[in-house]
Amino acid sequence: MRRLMLFLPAIALLAAFVILPAFGVMSMSLFDPDFSFKHFERFFTLGAYLTLLLNTLETSLIVALTTALVGYPISYFIYLQKGKVQRLLLFLILIPFWMSVLVRTFAWMVLLGREGLVNWLAQWSGLTSRPIQLLFTPEAVVLAMVQILLPVQIFICFSAMSEIDVDLLRAARILGAKPRQAVLRVFVPLSLEGALTGTIITFMLSMGFFITPALLGGPKDQLIGNLVTTQVEQVNWAFAAAVSFILLVTTLVAIGLLRTGGQFIIRRMVYGSAR
Domain assignment of residue 18, yes or no: no
Number of domains in the chain: 1
Predicted local confidence at residue 156, as pLDDT: 94
Domain assignment of residue 29, yes or no: no
- Is residue 216 scored above 80 in pLDDT? yes
User: What are the beta bridge partners of residue 35?
Assistant: 31
**Angstrom distance (rounded) from CA 16 to CA 14:** 6
Which CA distances in Å does 29 have to 41, 52, 142, 261?
Answer: 11, 19, 31, 32
- Residue 234: Cβ within 10 Å count: 10
Domain assignment of residue 164, yes or no: yes
Domain assignment of residue 233, yes or no: yes
User: What are the beta bridge partners of residue 31?
Assistant: 35
Domain assignment of residue 2, yes or no: no
Sorted by sequence, the CB contacts under 8 Å of residue 240 that are 6+ apart come out as: 228, 231, 232
- Is residue 134 scored above 60 in pLDDT? yes
Q: Which amino acid is at 191?
A: S
CATH number at 261 reads: 1.10.3720.10
Domain assignment of residue 153, yes or no: yes
Q: Could you tell me which of 62, 70, 195, 199 has the C-alpha nearest to residue 141?
A: 62
Predicted local confidence at residue 275, as pLDDT: 44
Burial group, residue 158, by CB count within 10 angstroms (0-12, 13-18, 19+): buried
**Angstrom distance (rounded) from CA 76 to CA 80:** 6
What tens digit of pLDDT does each residue of 3-39 get?
Answer: 778 888 888 898 888 889 888 888 999 888 888 899 9
Domain assignment of residue 44, yes or no: yes
Predicted local confidence at residue 82, as pLDDT: 87
Predicted local confidence at residue 131, as pLDDT: 86
Predicted local confidence at residue 130, as pLDDT: 86
Residue 151: pLDDT band by 50, 70, 90 thresholds?
A: very high
Question: In the predicted model, what is the mean pLDDT of the chain?
Answer: 89
What tens digit of pLDDT does each residue of 173-200 get?
Answer: 887 878 788 888 888 888 998 999 999 9
Q: What is the per-residue DSSP string for the chain?
A: -HHHHHHHHHHHHHIIIIIHHHHHHHHHHHBSSSB--HHHHHHHH-HHHHHHHHHHHHHHHHHHHHHHHHHHHHHHHHHH--HHHHHHHHHHHHGGGGS-HHHHHHHHHHHHSTTSHHHHHHHHTTS-SS----SSSHHHHHHHHHHHHHHHHHHHHHHHHHTS-HHHHHHHHHTT--HHHHIIIIIHHHHHHHHHHHHHHHHHHHHT--HHHHHH--GGG--HHHHHHHHHHTT-HHHHHHHHHHHHHHHHHHHHHHHHHHHHHHHHHHHHHH-
Can you give the residue range of the structural domain that contains 131? Answer: 38-274
Residue 35, φ and ψ in degrees, nearest 5: -65, 125
Domain assignment of residue 99, yes or no: yes
